[in-house]
Amino acid sequence: MKTLILATLIILVAADPVVYFREQFEDGDAWKSRWVESKHKSDYGKFILSSGKFYGDIEKDKGLQTSQDARFYSISSRFDTFSNEGQTLVIQFTVKHEQSIDCGGGYIKLFPSNLNQEDMHGDSEYNIMFGPDICGPGTKKVHVIFNYKGKNHLINKDIRCKDDEFTHLYTLIVRPDNTYEVKIDNKKVESGSLEEDWDFLPPKKVKDPEAKKPDDWDEKEKIDDPEDKKPEDWDKPEHIPDPDAKKPDDWDDEMDGEWEPPMISNPDYKGEWKPRQIDNPNYKGKWIHPEIDNPEYTADVAIYKYDSIGVIGLDLWQVKSGTIFDNFLITNDEKFAEEVGNETWGATKDPEKKMKDMQEEEERKKRDEEEKKMKEETKEEEEEDEEEEEEAKAPEDEEEQEEEEGEEETDSNVKDEL
């Protein structure tokens, strides 16, 4: 019984998730002691700690936010070095483009432990690059790039990222059986084989260089019917002189040249004659080049493996700043990562949207009130202008009336004198 209990405990302990790195920025400015800004360039953009303009929880939603437009950003954090050999690797974090990003990165990089953090830059060798990248309407993708034997390899599939203003959860799972999975907001959006979806290895099969298509191999499925012949009355001109046209009476052959009637489409024209098609009795189908095993191909069961993982970094460019990075997690347990995602992003996503909706409603009301006020002010101004016009017109009317009365009196006096 004791042996059984001990074995059970060992299994339970072994099943506990291993957390290599976790960062939620819950201790104020202490993050500055854990994250190192690169000094490779003097004009890198500055990160600030912020929960943004709208959020689900003002404290839980605080993260690193880009704060300067049109800048490169380069910052990283170190953790105990590990290798993912023989185990699952899960990379997870949240990204919020509250600035309606037009062009900029939202991805992270995992580096080997020998990275010089103060000299980190765009050409620094990394293990994995993962996360969203947006630039104009044409680029809205999730990057999944692996370094394999010193060369960076991009995924062969197109994974679309989220491009709205809300926080989203990005998860990459790399398994020791050389399979992977990409999740957005805890839902699978892509998965497959590392070998099939990246060009890490040469193809397993290649065309046999010794094989050639036989000279008598006929790939034509249809051929002209040799028995079909063109009718004798087939050939008719496409255009003919208009039989109803008449030479104008004022036409002068010497001055205008010889008159020719205009051409019209020939109703009897049948077009180019082509014999009807029949099945080719010699058709052998499309010739397929035989393949052989590629002598340059060597299977690799450890494509997924990295001997040294020790730094996580943000190395990116943004035209319009405002992106917030938060809830970083590196672990070996898929289920644990999903639970963390639900506890962090999952718990604040709805309140975040509610706050954004309330702000938009308040802005709408404010705009309506301003428009209403502007209309009222315009109406008052128009009424004042009308009153001023009437006041200015009143003396003129009185003068005109007096003149008319004077003229009438003069006319009356003249009549009396007469």
Structure confidence at residue 390 as a pLDDT band (50, 70, 90): confident
pLDDT per position as a tens digit, 16-40: 999 999 999 999 999 999 999 999 9
Structural contact between residues 305 and 84, judged by C-beta atoms closer than 8 angstroms: yes
To which residue do tokens 């990116």 refer? Answer: 316
Q: Is residue 396 part of a domain?
A: no
User: Residue 309's pLDDT is what?
Assistant: 98
The residue range of the domain holding 142 is 15-203+302-353
- Coil/strand/helix, residue 43: coil
Distances (CA, A) of 148 to 143, 155, 305, 307: 16, 12, 9, 12
Rounded average pLDDT over 129-152: 96
Higher pLDDT, 389 or 73: 73
Mean pLDDT, rounded, for 351-374: 92
Q: What is the pLDDT of residue 385?
A: 81
Residue 293: per-residue pLDDT:
94
Question: Would you give the distance in Å from CA 103 to the centre of its chain?
Answer: 10
CA torsion 356-360-361-366 (nearest 10°) is: 140
Q: Which has more confidence, 4 or 284?
A: 284
Look up residue 246 and give its DSSP letter: -
Domain of residue 91, CATH code? 2.60.120.200
Pick the range with the lowest mean pLDDT from 26-35, 67-76, 379-388. Answer: 379-388
Distance separating alpha carbons of residues 157 and 144, to the nearest angstrom: 9
Q: What is the pLDDT of residues 332-358, one digit of tens each?
A: 999 999 999 999 999 999 999 999 999
- Determine, yes or no, domain membership for 118: yes
Lowest mean pLDDT, pick from 142-151, 234-243, 323-332 = 234-243
**Per-residue pLDDT, 412:** 59
Q: Dihedrals φ, ψ of 313, to 5°?
A: -140, 155
Residue 304's pLDDT is what? 98
- What confidence tens digit (pLDDT) does each residue in 374-383 have? 888 888 888 8
What is the phi-psi region of residue 365: left when phi exceeds 0, alpha when psi lies from -120 to 50, beta otherwise?
A: alpha
Q: For residues 62 and 214, give the distance between their C-alpha atoms in angstroms, rounded to a whole number.
A: 69
The mean per-residue pLDDT over the stretch 51-61 comes to: 96
Residue type for position 392: A
Band (pLDDT 50/70/90 cuts) for residue 384 is confident
pLDDT at position 405? 66
Lowest mean pLDDT among 33-42, 79-88, 140-149, 228-237: 228-237
Q: What is the mean pLDDT of residues 299-325?
A: 97
Annotated binding site for Ca(2+): 24, 60, 62, 326
Contact 36, 115 (CB under 8 A): no
**Over 90: is that where the pLDDT of 111 sits?**
yes
Q: Is the pLDDT of residue 70 over 70?
A: yes
* pLDDT above 90 as % of the chain: 78
Residues marked as binding? 24, 60, 62, 107, 109, 126, 133, 315, 326
Calculate mean pLDDT across residues 302-317: 98
* pLDDT for res 7: 46
91 is written with which tokens?
Answer: 């990379």
Q: Give a yes or no: residue 174 inside a domain.
A: yes
The larger pLDDT score, comparing residue 168 to residue 137, is at 168
How confident is the model at residue 413, as a pLDDT?
A: 57
In a domain, 114, yes or no: yes
- pLDDT greater than 60 at residue 9: no
Mean pLDDT of the chain: 91
pLDDT for 10 beyond 60: no
Q: What is the pLDDT of residue 275?
A: 94
Is a pLDDT exceeding 50 seen at residue 12?
no
**264 occurs within a structural domain:** no
Q: How confident is the model at residue 165, as a pLDDT?
A: 96
Number of domains making up the chain: 1
Q: What is the mean pLDDT of residues 238-258?
A: 89
Residue 300: name the closest of 153, 131, 81, 111 by CA. Answer: 153
Closest by CA to 110, choosing from 85, 140, 141, 79, is 79
Q: Does residue 409 fall inside a structural domain?
A: no
10 assigned to some structural domain: no
Residue whose entry in the numeric block shows the structure tokens 């009185």: 398
Q: Which residues are annotated as a binding site for an alpha-D-glucoside?
A: 107, 109, 126, 133, 315
Question: Contact, 82 vs 322, CB < 8 A?
Answer: no
Cβ neighbour number for residue 283 with a 10 Å cutoff: 13
The answer to whether residue 367 sits within a structural domain is: no
Q: Over the stretch 193-229, which tens digit does the pLDDT of each residue have?
A: 999 999 999 999 999 999 999 999 999 999 999 999 9
